[in-house]
Amino acid sequence: MKSFIKFWNEVSLVTKIFIGLIIGTGLGFWFPNFTVISVLGDIFVGALKSIAPILVFTLVLSSLAQNSKRIGKMFFTVIFLYMLNTFLSATVAIIASFIFPISLNFEAASSISNAPSGISEVLQDLLVNIVANPVDAISKANYMGILFWAVIFGFFLKSIASENTKQTLKDISDANLKVVCWIINFAPFGILGLVFRSISSKGLNIFLDYGKLILVLVGCMLVMAFLIIPFIVALCLQKNPYPLVIRCIKESGLTAFFTRSSAANIPVNMILCEKLKLDKDMYSVSIPLGATINTSGAAITISVMTLAAVHTLGISVDFPTALILSLIASLAACGASGVAGGSLLLIPMACSLFGIDNDISMQVVGAGFIIGIVQDSFETALNSSSDVIFTATAEYMQKNKFVANDK
């Protein structure tokens, strides 16, 4: 037992996650009725989701209360990279949808009724979420509200709080980071439970029924992850981007793939940023903001699914119109990220721009939920890993450093 514990402690976290992945896959195929195993995944994701809002609030509050560095230019660089990423994702999805047109059979019905009816409704909800009760924002993981109130309190505490108070806030935020590290150490067991649930409940049948749709969606996301995003980073840094990109995919994307929650992956990204020696004042704001507005995966999902409905119904659409559609839907996704179902619930709004009625568009949503175990996994992995990639890129550009080696 001592030898096993020593071996386990010496193995890297990524390797341990892969071990959990293999074991979970095997158990899902051979013992699908042992549903108690999936509880491990529920506990892991629940712990991450619970600590994330508190972590974000205390980190932002502490950073702004200290005599922190000015990061305005760097922050706007991150925002620009997030928006560029979403735009290019929409473009890739549209090109793929025109090259590989998809038709659906509209057999999958959906009972969801809370999809936003238009962009104005989404933006209105976004503004309401920003000024939500701070306690309510933390309890409901409303990150736009959490960021808003943390910035407000941090701004005033910087000028009126005593040094002892500031040190106390720093100690609390550091303690939260320690808790996150402790939770992440249980990631292999959590991944085991999550993989078991996916394999035992869905198996591989969805690939047979929706193979082409899955291939187009996943193909677009892989193109973004391994070609377009590295190209953006290379242009910004004038250096080989893949050490940074691969590390972020390994340590952020892999966990996000299985948790399927950008909110749950915020603590994972915070720890990765700390490992990359990034400025806490910067990433404490850019990472939770990225979890809300860096929606490249959502842009791909909305574009591909909506154009699949368009092609199924034989509606004629030119490329510029499709691009406008995808950009509008992607921007709207920033305000709807907290809605259950995420990007899928924006499909009816996008379909309405082509005159597709709600009954048909909700069947497209239903098809999306059927393949959600694959679609949402890749989408979250792309979104979450790129949050760290672009945060690091913005800082490396400003400070002229590049620290991406795996340590």
Q: Which domains does the chain have, with CATH numbers?
A: 2-399 (1.10.3860.10)
The residue type at 233 = V
65 DSSP 8-state letter: H
Query: Which residues of the chain, if any, have pLDDT below 50?
Result: 108-113, 338-340, 406-407
101 DSSP 8-state letter: -
Q: Do residues 253 and 191 lie in contact, with contact meaning Cβ atoms separated by under 8 Å?
A: no
Distant-in-sequence, close-in-space partners of 6: CB < 8 Å, separation ≥ 6 = none
**Residue for token pair 């092609």:** 311
Q: What is the model's pLDDT at position 110?
A: 45
Count of all residues that appear for the chain in the document:
407
SS3 call for 33: coil
Q: What is the model's pLDDT at position 203?
A: 59
Give the side-chain half-sphere CA count within 13 A for 11.
16
Helices 163-184, 39-65: axis angle to 10 degrees equals: 160
Q: What is the model's pLDDT at position 112?
A: 44
Helices 119-130, 319-336: axis angle to 10 degrees equals: 30
**Residue for token pair 């996150």:** 180
Q: How far is CA 118 from CA 93, 127, 235, 320, in A?
A: 22, 15, 36, 20
User: Quick one: tokens of 186?
Assistant: 């249980």
Q: What is the model's pLDDT at position 120?
A: 62
Tens digit of each residue's pLDDT (9 = 90 or more) over 78-93:
989 998 998 899 889 9
Q: What is the model's pLDDT at position 167?
A: 86
Tens digit of each residue's pLDDT (9 = 90 or more) over 138-185:
888 777 788 789 888 888 888 787 888 888 888 888 888 888 888 888
Q: Do residues 258 and 48 lie in contact, with contact meaning Cβ atoms separated by under 8 Å?
A: no
Distant-in-sequence, close-in-space partners of 128: CB < 8 Å, separation ≥ 6 = none
The residue type at 185 = N
For CA atoms 290, 291, 295, 297, give the dihedral sign: positive
Q: How far is CA 226 from CA 49, 209, 231, 242, 372, in A?
A: 28, 27, 9, 8, 22
Cα 290 to Cα 180: distance, rounded to the nearest angstrom: 19
Cα 288 to Cα 39: distance, rounded to the nearest angstrom: 27
User: Quick one: tokens of 257?
Assistant: 């793939």
Q: What is the model's pLDDT at position 108?
A: 45
Cα 82 to Cα 78: distance, rounded to the nearest angstrom: 6
